[in-house]
A = this chain, B = another copy of it.
Amino acid sequence: MRLSDLPTPSLILDRARLKRNVARMVARAKELGVTLRPHMKTAKSAEVARLVHGGGTGPITVSTLAEAEYFAKSGFTDMLYAVAIVPAKLDRAAAIMRAAPGLKLLTDDLEAARAIAARGAALGVRFNAVIEVETGGGRAGVDPTSPELAAIADALAPAGMLAGVMAHAGHSYGCEGVTEIEEVAEAERAGVVAAAEFLRARGHSFEHVSVGSTPTALHARHLDGVTEMRPGNFVFFDLFQHGLGMCAAEDIAVGVLTSVIGHHRGRNHILLDAGALALSKDTGANRRIENVGYGLVRAPSEASPREDVAVLDVHQEHGILSARRGLDAIDPLPFADWPVGSRTLVLPNHVCMTSAMYTQYHVIDGSDEIVAVWDRTGGW
């Protein structure tokens, strides 16, 4: 089967690019002396997780219990579910632990920590809990070295359920330039290490001191005191990461294969069958790359996206490909080069959101031949 045989829209994964991206992050983790626990919220694919771990299973991060169930079925036993747990989810987590005893839960709340300990005792399950600390991101987490942190650890430790501390510098996505990312990475590292030392000084022991985001993983100066990192986006990259300077446009490993379904010469645009659902409505990359809309396009046979056009508007099932620049915009577009039925790849603005709309990847590797179809999970 070839790209030309696929229905459109379809999600295409370039395995050569994926392997290159993975090799880069594996080397980074080795250089930093930490375990790579890739965040599978981006790929949601056992094949991708195995590729990161050299063909086998290994530690991963997940964003939903549905992901944890999927990866447990695929043989992954060591998972950090990196969204704060609520008591109503503990029984489901306990069920997952039968196949994946290394499942770790996250909390930053004293009542939730008490519920973890109590429900674990009632079920006869030793949950593994990691405490989230805030290191500047402002989303979640308690302050390192705070009484709240101590109280949460004290609620978990007697039951043998304190597994570690973690931080997520999500605000690295808002940085301007590498120096600022380096500073955010250092704050993330220093904060979580301070929390670990604070708890150890109080007599606690635990295994995991965890940080992570693709930008901080790529630009941390060192990770002394940290045991693992959890980047996720790096496997595929996207226009946002490209705009942030984390990758070249040629590293973006995932695209949406779409068909030209119409021309509107009066408005000088080309209609594609990839719209808001096929691409997502994430427009974050426009903060970094002017007028990138919902995505840039490239021919499947080309390495780099075109600079002159972008998907500048979307309706539910329509993408509107238009000239990208202002005054010297191409007018008219070369409609004859884009006949109805011809195909192009749209590079995603934010690949975590775009990929979430699909249940499988069609995998290519250096040609237009589909060399594999990899499933991906979703939902909650």
Enumerate chain A interface residues (CB-CB to B < 8 A): 7-10, 41, 63-65, 83-89, 92, 108-109, 111-112, 115, 134, 138-140, 143, 170, 259-264, 266-267, 271, 273, 276-278, 280-283, 315-318, 320, 339-341, 352-353, 356-359, 379-380
A332 CB → nearest B CB, Å: 16
| A340 B138 Cβ-Cβ under 8 A | no
Pick from A88, A108, A261, A339 the residue with the most CB of B within 10 Å.
A261
| B353 A86 Cβ-Cβ under 8 A | no
When distances are taken between beta carbons in the complex, the residues of chain B under 8 Å from A353 are 276-277, 281, 316
A171 CB → nearest B CB, Å: 11
| A280 B278 Cβ-Cβ under 8 A | no
| A89 B7 Cβ-Cβ under 8 A | yes
A5 CB → nearest B CB, Å: 9
When distances are taken between beta carbons in the complex, the residues of chain B under 8 Å from A64 are 317
A378 CB → nearest B CB, Å: 8
When distances are taken between beta carbons in the complex, the residues of chain B under 8 Å from A340 are 84, 86-87, 109, 111-112
| B341 A139 Cβ-Cβ under 8 A | no
State the majority secondary structure of interface residues on A: loop
A25 CB → nearest B CB, Å: 19
When distances are taken between beta carbons in the complex, the residues of chain B under 8 Å from A92 are 7
Instruction: A262 to B152: give the CA distance in the assembly, Å.
Output: 13
Can you report 28 A-B residue pairs in the complex whose CB atoms are below 8 A from each other? A7-B380, A8-B86, A9-B380, A63-B316, A63-B317, A83-B261, A83-B317, A84-B271, A84-B273, A86-B260, A86-B273, A86-B341, A87-B340, A108-B262, A109-B262, A109-B263, A109-B340, A111-B339, A111-B340, A111-B341, A134-B264, A134-B266, A138-B267, A139-B264, A139-B315, A170-B315, A316-B352, A358-B379
